[in-house]
Structure 1
Amino acid sequence: MKQLPYSHEAEIALLGSLLVYPESVATVVEYDVRIDDFFKVEHQQIFEHMLALIDANRIIDPKLLITRLADHGKLDLIGGVDYLMMLTDNSSGPSSVKHYVDVVQEKSQIRRLIHVGQDIVDHGFDTTVELDELLDLAEQQILDVTRIRRTSEMLSSREVVQEFLENLNQIRENKDRITGLKTGYGSLNHLTNGLQRGDLIILAARPSVGKTAFALNLALNAARFNFEGQAGVAVFSLEMPATHLISRMMSAQSSIKSEYLRSGNLDDDQMNELHQAANALAQLNVFIDDSSTITVPEIFSKCRKMKAEGRLDMIVIDYIQLISGKGGTESRQQEVSEISRSLKQLAREMEAPVIGLSQLSRLVERRDNKMPQLSDLRESGSIEQDADIVMFLYREDYYDHDKDDDEKEELSPDQPRPVVLKIAKHRNGALAELDMQFEPSISKFYDVARER
């Protein structure tokens, strides 16, 4: 049987330095050295009791450590006083501590990868595990190994308060007070302080109201107005191919009607404008996946790849009810509920806002007041519960077919449609109804005030 990798010399030198040089403690704390970073059991025991002294604001003195180990019945287990004295004899100077921390943690990471690999192999031989589940497990476990983890998952109030004050100072210094991603809409920015990392945002409307167009506007604006135009946006389109999405984006960017792009009926000036729009779009980090049968594990996999490459700041999914579930659940509603919970986990893991589009049920059509409400979310399950923000799009002209002829408002195809963006749920802020305008001919939304 092969020996798991570790460095006996580095572990001894690191523990010896902690015993002899108190200033070494700062390096160990800074780089989050964990008990299981040490391979030898006796070294784990020694370091565990060193951490206890650190937490108690005590100096790691050999006499104190000997007393503590003896009180807990561990002194003989680690080799007695003689072993501790041997550590002090093999201590390294403070300038070398970082080197030994690197060696110890590197060997620890390799051991974790070996354990993960063995676990993946064991699951691979399990005939009840499906491929998607195995791939998701493998990616998640490997990602966990690569993350820098704190010694303890519990945070003290002192740490949290300090982080809060630092964030508050950054907000105060930020003139526009936007803490999340800029949306391109001043009223929405003001209400939400930008789209926040880790938030699941549901955008819902009846078919053909404009939710895909609005989502694409948000995607383009996020890519354009954040991180000096370098923000990365992933768009998962389950309903229409990438070429159709790009056509809508080009129309919104160039203000050339979609029908002209479909027919090719463009003059030279319009072609020049279109090329300028194409060049502008090509500079943005917008990535489109138009797989019509994509699953949640596949979404996670592609987002993890983008995150690892440092180019993922927002995720758009059009739309939730089209995502393929695992199957085996009692109802589609339960399946959609599991999907929504997974999308919230996606937002947290990717540290990015996830905008999930959703259909509304036909119940809204049966009411006199057709302004959407939370209960109208189709196959809602836990969508409302999991979401940090729920936004509805409402267009009064959409329901003109229900009115008498003398009540209908005649709008030309090119005329902007008044739209209400209703914030029906906002976990960390106020509710509101924001007035916007939508130009269907170019798939573009505006603030009424035309602000960013």
Structure 2
Amino acid sequence: MGKTAFTMQCVVEAMLLNEKLRVCVANVEMPPERLLERQLSRLSGVRLDDIQTRKLTSNQKKGLKESFADLDRISERLVYVQSPMTLDNVANAADFIDADLIVLDYIQRIQPKGQHSDRRGSVDATMDSLRQFAAAGCSVLALSAVGRSKDSRGRSSYSGDGLSLASFRETSEIEFGADEAYMLVPANGADADSTDEVVDVSLRQLKSRYGKPDQIDLSFDRSIQSFDLKTKESPLGTFSSLWETPNEN
């Protein structure tokens, strides 16, 4: 639920906080203009439906001006990979802006170099290349498709209770090769009514190579594609503080 929206919110917030951060995004399902419309909606509070249909009031248009200014601040440091979605194109786009972070959405659809007998071999090769990117000093955030699990009634479902590291599709390389692994899932009962605009979700850290896995409870406003901390008094502080770097003495 909302993996792309959450990822792009993280990317944009991080770039607004760090004016040196450069990011390369490869999204196989959504063109850049649609991704940016979501960010305009989130930053301005103007409903996404109104932005997409261009049915805006004068007050909404005024509210969008500041959001456009925010996106202008990061535009020269953000590049989108153009089709075909291959690792070669990802590498070229990342080199073009000297990217600090590469975002792949999603990993099973990014084609690696060479010929591979099946999808599992293809994803294995992609993971190997991503480790090389990381070893060269570029952080990598890769989204993955997940397989359905059985819920408490034995039905095929994306329920969070049945999802684990083994749910990542195609290969165990995703499970073992990543330093950190997260699953964004609806809270229990949160998706019972598909018409709800605001739903509760959990960001579950399934793996942390260098620390203890944790969980963050969030609310997701689908009308403006925005996530926020569910508990305002969380020890993590504000949502934006998740990307702030502590000052060194």
For normalisation by structure 1, the TM-score amounts to 0.47
**Alignment of 1:264 onto 2:23:** no
1:31-430 correspondence to structure 2 within 5 Å: 209-226=1-18, 229-285=19-75, 286-307=77-98, 312-349=99-136, 351-363=137-149, 366=156, 370-371=160-161, 372-396=163-187, 400=191, 408=192, 410=193, 413-414=196-197, 416-430=198-212
Distance 2:116 2:78 in 1: 32
1:424 CA displacement: 0.3
Distance 2:157 2:106 in 1: 25
Q: Is the 2:79–2:97 contact (alpha carbons within 8 Å) kept by the matching residues of 1?
A: no
Q: Which amino acid aligns with 1:283?
A: R
1:263 CA displacement: 1.2
Q: Is the 1:437–1:445 contact (alpha carbons within 8 Å) kept by the matching residues of 2?
A: yes
Q: Which amino acid aligns with 1:243?
A: E
Q: Is the 1:435–1:447 contact (alpha carbons within 8 Å) kept by the matching residues of 2?
A: yes
| Residues 316-353 of structure 1, C-alpha deviations (whole Å, 9 max, x = no match) | 1111111123453222101101101211211221x232
Q: Which amino acid aligns with 1:218?
A: C
1:238 CA displacement: 1.6
Change in 2 beyond 3 A, CA 1:369/1:417: closer
Q: Is the 1:223–1:231 contact (alpha carbons within 8 Å) kept by the matching residues of 2?
A: yes
Q: Is the 2:82–2:89 contact (alpha carbons within 8 Å) kept by the matching residues of 1?
A: no
Corresponding residue for 1:155? none
SS in 2 for 1:360: coil
Q: Which amino acid aligns with 2:211?
A: G
Pick the structure with more helix per residue: 1
Q: Which amino acid aligns with 2:219?
A: Q
Distance 1:369 1:417 in 2: 14
Q: Which amino acid aligns with 1:244?
A: R
Paired positions, count: 228
1:427 CA displacement: 0.6
Distance 1:246 1:252 in 2: 10
For normalisation by structure 2, the TM-score amounts to 0.83
Q: Which amino acid aligns with 2:31?
A: P
Structure number with the bigger relative contact order (C-alpha 8 A, sep ≥ 6) is 2
| Residues 286-333 of structure 1, C-alpha deviations (whole Å, 9 max, x = no match) | 4232424221122122212322xxxx2222111111112345322210
Pick the structure with more strand per residue: 2
Superposed CA RMSD in Å reads: 2.2
Q: Is the 1:364–1:370 contact (alpha carbons within 8 Å) kept by the matching residues of 2?
A: no
Q: Which amino acid aligns with 2:229?
A: D
| Residues 390-417 of structure 1, C-alpha deviations (whole Å, 9 max, x = no match) | 01001047885xxxxxxx4x57543x21
Structure 2: unaligned runs, 5 residues or longer: 233-237, 242-249
Change in 2 beyond 3 A, CA 1:340/1:247: same
Higher radius of gyration, 1 or 2: 1
